[in-house]
């Protein structure tokens, strides 16, 4: 277990720039005074921002670079200039062992491509997956993966995602045997593609894994709290995630309109204001910021580009927690348990 996590920060990523990134990292440092940072980007702008955060300045080293990955830049182009960009150098710090994790709010596709090329996938993992914590009506959040890294997946990929997602849930939510479900178009055993049914068959038989496989779930039950991990291919997962985010915005906007439609509604809003505050907090994406690329030889966390300082701090906290609990070693151990059994089952399908 790592006592003082060292995290590389892409200071230039994100919609709000260096100021918000540094404010968020400083907030994370106040919560966790053992954290240390390598900050990559424009030295002048970073140091100017650090003047407002002496606690962070004392725990950080600044590495100047001129290059920045554009928000719309193609991954292939970003890879070619990785050695001169803040994102690329943050990932290289993890590869060299100079940092345990990298955090960036930059271009997701470029971050995924550069991370996979530099860090490679772990033994036994074919493809990394993008995982995030989503709010639910239950006692815990739910880990959902893949959220867009792999648009097409076979049964082997889905089984590996389940193993990685369960390891993440054990770390993030202190669960001994997370409840895992596969996203499907129905809960019956005969529903879904061949790949989904094959993955379900393997997970049902893999009772030596530290997870509880509970079959299938549908899109309208993502937030009911009946699962701790929901597994899908990246195409379906990304569509489900964006739909859930859009629905949350729709509900909050609808409530806002309803409460401002008349004097009586405004009075009702004042009465229900504490409940509305709780709802806003529960649905605030900044409170769940920090998606993780699981399956790499190193920890890489993607912060939402539009995250505020609290959101950035949350992403940094996710990275620190994964380092402290050694998520890569947990996944390695769980994949060893799956071992030859999982390979044989997939080959037999």
Residue 275 has pLDDT above 60, yes or no: no
Element (H, E) at 194: helix 194-205
pLDDT of residue 2: 44
Q: What digits encode the pLDDT tens for the residues 198-257?
A: 999 999 988 888 999 999 999 888 888 899 999 999 999 889 888 887 877 787 777 777
pLDDT of residue 268: 64
**Predicted TM-score (pTM) of this structure:** 0.85
- Numbered ranges of CATH 3.40.718.10 in the chain: 1-124+295-313, 126-294
* 244 or 83, higher pLDDT: 83
pLDDT of residue 300: 95
Find the range with the poorest average confidence among 173-177, 262-266, 270-274. Answer: 270-274
**Could you say which architecture CATH assigns to the domain 126-294?**
3-Layer(aba) Sandwich (3.40)
Mean pLDDT score, 67-85:
88
pLDDT of residue 40: 95
pLDDT of residue 25: 93
Mean pLDDT across the chain: 86
List phi, psi (to 5°) of 205.
-85, -15
* 272 or 137, higher pLDDT: 137
**272 band by pLDDT with thresholds 50, 70 and 90:** low
pLDDT of residue 16: 76
Q: Is 311 exposed, middle or buried (0-12, 13-18, 19+ CB in 10 A)?
A: buried
Nearest to 8 by CA among 45, 49, 38, 35: 38
**The pairing of beta strand 179-183 with beta strand 229-231:** parallel
Find the range with the poorest average confidence among 61-65, 109-113, 169-173, 342-346. Answer: 342-346
Residue 341 has pLDDT above 50, yes or no: no
263-267: long-range contacts at Cβ-Cβ below 8 A with a sequence spacing of 24 or more? none
Contact partners, residue 74, CB within 8 Å, separation at least 6: 109, 110
Torsion, CA 58, CA 61, CA 66, CA 70, rounded to 10:
-80
Mean pLDDT score, 317-332:
91
**324 band by pLDDT with thresholds 50, 70 and 90:** very high
Q: What's the CATH number of domain 1-124+295-313, 3.40.718.10, 3.20.20.10, 1.10.10.10, 3.40.50.720?
A: 3.40.718.10
Residue 121 has pLDDT above 80, yes or no: yes
pLDDT of residue 348: 47
- Is the CB of residue 101 less than 8 Å from the CB of residue 322? yes
Q: What digits encode the pLDDT tens for the residues 135-170?
A: 888 888 899 998 988 888 999 999 999 999 999 999
**344 band by pLDDT with thresholds 50, 70 and 90:** very low
Alpha-carbon separation of residue 341 from 45, 215, 336 (angstroms): 53, 19, 10
pLDDT of residue 279: 52
**269 band by pLDDT with thresholds 50, 70 and 90:** low
Q: What angle do CA 151, 155, 156 make, to 5 degrees?
A: 95
Residue 347 has pLDDT above 60, yes or no: no
């Amino acid at each position: 277990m790592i006592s003082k996590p060292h995290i590389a920060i892409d200071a230039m990523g994100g919609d709000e720039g260096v100021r918000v990134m540094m404010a968020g990292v400083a907030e994370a440092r106040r919560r966790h005074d053992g954290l240390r940072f390598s900050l990559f980007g424009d030295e002048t702008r970073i140091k100017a921002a650090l003047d407002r955060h002496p606690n962070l300045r004392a725990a950080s080293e600044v590495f100047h670079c001129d290059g920045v990955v554009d928000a719309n830049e193609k991954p292939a182009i970003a890879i070619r200039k990785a050695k001169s960009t803040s994102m690329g150098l943050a990932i290289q710090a993890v590869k060299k062992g100079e940092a345990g994790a990298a955090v960036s709010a930059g271009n997701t596709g470029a971050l995924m491509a550069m991370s996979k090329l530099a860090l490679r996938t772990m033994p036994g993992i074919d493809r990394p997956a993008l995982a995030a914590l989503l709010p639910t009506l239950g006692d815990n959040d739910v880990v959902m993966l893949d959220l867009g890294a792999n648009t097409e997946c076979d049964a082997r990929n889905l089984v590996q995602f389940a193993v990685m997602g369960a390891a993440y849930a054990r770390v993030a939510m202190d669960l001994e045997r997370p409840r895992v479900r596969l996203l499907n178009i129905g809960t019956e055993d005969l529903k879904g593609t061949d790949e989904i049914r094959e993955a379900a068959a393997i997970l049902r038989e893999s009772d030596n894994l530290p997870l509880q496989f509970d079959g299938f779930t549908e899109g309208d039950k993502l937030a009911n709290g009946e699962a701790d991990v929901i597994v899908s291919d990246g195409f379906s997962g990304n569509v489900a995630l964006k739909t859930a985010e859009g629905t949350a915005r729709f509900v909050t906007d609808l409530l806002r309109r309803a409460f401002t439609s008349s004097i009586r509604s405004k009075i009702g809003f004042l009465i229900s204001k504490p409940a509305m505050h709780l709802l806003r907090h529960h649905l605030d994406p900044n409170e769940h910021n920090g998606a993780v690329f699981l399956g790499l030889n190193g920890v890489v966390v993607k912060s939402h580009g539009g995250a505020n300082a609290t959101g950035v701090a949350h992403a940094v906290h996710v990275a620190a927690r994964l380092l402290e609990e050694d998520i890569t070693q947990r996944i390695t151990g769980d994949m060893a348990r799956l071992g030859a059994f999982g390979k044989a089952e997939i080959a037999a399908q």
